[in-house]
Amino acid sequence: MTKAPLRLLASGAVVALAVSACGSSSSGGGGGSGGSSAPGVTATTVTIGSHQPLTGVAAPGYSEIAPASNAYFKWVNAHGGINGRKIVYKYLDDGYDPSKTVTDVHQLVEQDKVFAIFNGLGTPTHEQVVPFLNAQKVPDLFVASGCLCWNKPSTAPETFGWQTDYTREGKLLGQYIEQHFKGQKVAIFAQNDDFGTDGTNGVKDEVPASDIATVQTYQPLPTPNVATQVAKLQSSGAKIVVAFTVPGYTAALQLTAAALKFQPQYVISNVGSDPITVSNFETAASKGKVSNGALLQGVVTDGYLSSPADKSNSWIKLFQQIRKKYIPKLPFDGNVEYGMAAAYTFAQALKAAGANPTRQSIVAAVEKGGFSGPGLVPFAFSSSDHSGFTGAQIGIIHGLTIHLVGTPLITDDTANGAITPYPTAQPQAPASGIPSD
């Protein structure tokens, strides 16, 4: 995952956006007692940690995720905790800088003695700490990124994904393109790392090579300048542009294209399509000339969680209630929903780990699988599969909301793996908001 304000280059002008460092950290217990010898576990608390982009290129939008997770944990704690223990969540700012990620994670593990790392955000950042966490046998749960690299149980047995991986997502978006825009030229604009590579490969599994006009990439920098890449997208003759971008680069892509009078049909990864986040970027960067998501209308995207705009959904009702109580200043957007949904899964895993959890027992609980919750599709979790959600549902942006269409779809990350409907209804949120098993 990744999102929020920074510096954008649009219409040839660099616009400085204010970055708000939203977040907090909690202090919490070290060595185990109360029947558990696990680091970070006491008779009354379980302390977990994370690295998050509270500032920097990925902060806008993404800086909401950890506070949202923490709000859910506060809700859990106010209702008695998990197996009698409160969850203490300590998250540190890495600014989406891999070198800072390494420093943060070493501090959390070696000094703060956390029980587990939860929802560490970002592909290029988290890749730098996976070897360390696995060597130290620290549970590395529900990474906030859809990289295939989290699913390596033989070499990284402590690491688990959570969101739909980018190859699966690329396949679903590619299938939609083939069904609705067959034969039209397709260009791809992608982050220059495993996020972009995995997504691009998924699209190529479904869209014929003869229809791919060009693939352009970007390096995530504090001052995005995408003029060269967008000019190449335009000159390729593409009518469809697929983007595997963080929100700031989605905005830079659309604003630069608009300045060139290039108006393709956009198909944008869930990672970079939250309408509220991207619209805020575009409004600020254009000094109000582009507002209310004007460039986002009709964008094709996908979701593995319910739309935040679905006020009748039991999970949305629950998360809205938690937001109003603990983080009322944050918008209820896809980032806040994401943070709470991931936290719910962690609470499930901790409960399943037993009355006296150990690092080994929580890993075993996730591998046992069987978790359900806010997702529209099932998890893949098993001893041989550490990826997360197995699919998503196509969505179309109207106004500032993503309207899900059709039926959720599931697939695998192989080139020839079938894409099939998943008609099973999403479970209702528990009345208490706390996992019961």
**CA-to-CA distance for 361 and 141, rounded, in angstroms?**
13
The tens digit of pLDDT for each residue in 47-106 reads 999 999 999 989 989 999 999 999 999 999 999 999 999 999 999 999 999 999 999 999
The tens digit of pLDDT for each residue in 243-270 reads 999 999 999 999 999 999 999 999 999 9
The one-letter amino acid code at 262 reads F
Token pair for residue 366? 């996730």
pLDDT at 36: 63
**Closest alpha carbon to 8 in 295, 215, 336:** 295
Pairing of strands 391-398, 409-410: antiparallel
pLDDT at 12: 32
**Closest alpha carbon to 422 in 65, 168, 95, 70:** 168
Instruction: Please state the rounded mean pLDDT for residues 136-159.
Output: 98
Instruction: Please state the rounded mean pLDDT for residues 100-122.
Output: 98
Q: Identify whether the C-beta of residue 347 lies closer than 8 Å to the C-beta of residue 374.
A: no
**Closest alpha carbon to 24 in 329, 362, 284:** 329
CA angle 144, 203, 371 (to 5 degrees): 40
Structural domains of the chain in order of their starting residue, each with its CATH number: 7-164+309-389 (3.40.50.2300), 166-303 (3.40.50.2300)
pLDDT band at 11 (very low <50, low <70, confident <90, very high): very low
pLDDT band at 35 (very low <50, low <70, confident <90, very high): low
pLDDT at 37: 74
The one-letter amino acid code at 417 reads G
**CA-to-CA distance for 208 and 185, rounded, in angstroms?**
10
**CA-to-CA distance for 112 and 31, rounded, in angstroms?**
10
Q: Which residue shows structure tokens 């587990």?
A: 116
> Among 15-19, 288-292, 315-319, where is mean pLDDT lowest?
15-19
DSSP result, 150-174: G--TTT-TTB---SPPHHHHHHHHH
Q: Cβ-count burial of 395 within 10 angstroms (0-12 exposed, 13-18 middle, 19+ buried)?
A: buried
**CA-to-CA distance for 206 and 314, rounded, in angstroms?**
34
Length of the chain: 437
Find the helix or strand (DSSP H, E) in which 221 lies.
none
**Closest alpha carbon to 172 in 267, 251, 246:** 267
Checking if the pLDDT of 13 tops 60, the result is no
pLDDT at 284: 93
**CA dihedral defined by 265, 269, 274, 280, rounded to 10 degrees?**
-60
The one-letter amino acid code at 400 reads L
Token pair for residue 126? 């988290």
pLDDT at 3: 38
Q: Identify whether the C-beta of residue 375 lies closer than 8 Å to the C-beta of residue 305.
A: yes
Find the helix or strand (DSSP H, E) in which 131 lies.
helix 130-135
Stated pTM of the model: 0.90
| 45 against 437, higher pLDDT | 45
**CA-to-CA distance for 11 and 27, rounded, in angstroms?**
45
pLDDT at 16: 29
Residues 434-437: contacts with CB under 8 Å, at least 24 apart:
434/75, 434/76, 434/79, 434/80, 434/82, 434/347, 435/82, 435/344, 435/347, 435/348, 435/351, 435/373, 437/351, 437/352
CB atoms within 10 A of CB 409: 22
Token pair for residue 344? 């719910």
**CA-to-CA distance for 247 and 183, rounded, in angstroms?**
28
Token pair for residue 407? 């039926």
Checking if the pLDDT of 165 tops 90, the result is yes
Checking if the pLDDT of 297 tops 50, the result is yes
pLDDT at 104: 98
pLDDT at 222: 82
CA angle 149, 186, 277 (to 5 degrees): 60
The tens digit of pLDDT for each residue in 397-422 reads 999 999 999 999 999 999 999 999 99
Find the helix or strand (DSSP H, E) in which 396 lies.
strand 391-398
Q: Which residue shows structure tokens 């991207």?
A: 278
Supply the DSSP symbol for 121. Answer: B
Checking if the pLDDT of 301 tops 60, the result is yes
Cα–chain center distance at 262: 29
Q: State in Å, rounded, how far the first CA of the chain is from the last one.
A: 27
Token pair for residue 402? 């993503």
CA angle 389, 87, 69 (to 5 degrees): 45
Instruction: Please state the rounded mean pLDDT for residues 213-229.
Output: 94
Q: Identify whether the C-beta of residue 304 lies closer than 8 Å to the C-beta of residue 164.
A: yes
Token pair for residue 146? 């859809």
